[in-house]
Amino acid sequence: MSRKTVLIAAIILAVAALALLVYLLASGLPGSSSQLRELDANAQKWESQHVGHYRMNVHIGCFCPFFDRMPVTVEVLDGEVVSVIDSQGRHVPQDDPLRAFDNAKLMTVQGVFAYAREAIRTADETTVSYDAALGYPVSLSIGRIKLAMDDELAVRISELQVLP
């Protein structure tokens, strides 16, 4: 083979690899479509229950400074957080770091669904388990970068009570 032929072959392979990468990024990570279908089915199950008022325990596991305050007990009314109480029984105000940034999204069932959807689409590893009766996520585990350390996030929802 001539040097020119090898160069052309290398360029064609590089373009093909780039096209495959763009396709995978545009269509989501492999396996994510089945996870998204499962998430959609459970979100629909949750929505069909018309739960407007509920209380639940939320445990956010990460390399965060507030791990000793977990789980928190969250009350939600019509999609809005009404109150958050930490594991020591103290009220958690809205400006507390525990409720800041992405953690605020994890304080409602709808927020956990949205967070899980984004993670399924973008993270290297995402695992979600759902409540069989109501469909809400009971556990969410995210590894944003497969080989990275300290980027994992785990969320567990327990003792969800539907309130009047």
Q: Where are the beta strands (DSSP E) in 11-143?
A: 53-61, 72-77, 80-85, 125-130, 137-143
Mean pLDDT of 121-125: 92
Q: Where are the beta strands (DSSP E) in 9-136?
A: 53-61, 72-77, 80-85, 125-130
Q: How far apart are CA 19 and CA 50, in angstroms?
A: 44
pLDDT above 50 (res 133): yes
103 pLDDT band, cuts 50/70/90, is confident
Q: How far apart are CA 47 and CA 128, in angstroms?
A: 18
Supply the pTM of this predicted model: 0.77
pLDDT in tens, 14-37: 676 665 554 555 445 555 799 999
2 versus 131: which is more confidently predicted? 131
* Residue 26: per-residue pLDDT: 47
Q: In percent, how much of the chain has pLDDT > 90?
A: 59
Least reliable range by pLDDT among 50-54, 76-80, 140-144: 140-144
Where along the chain do its domains lie?
1-28, 31-162
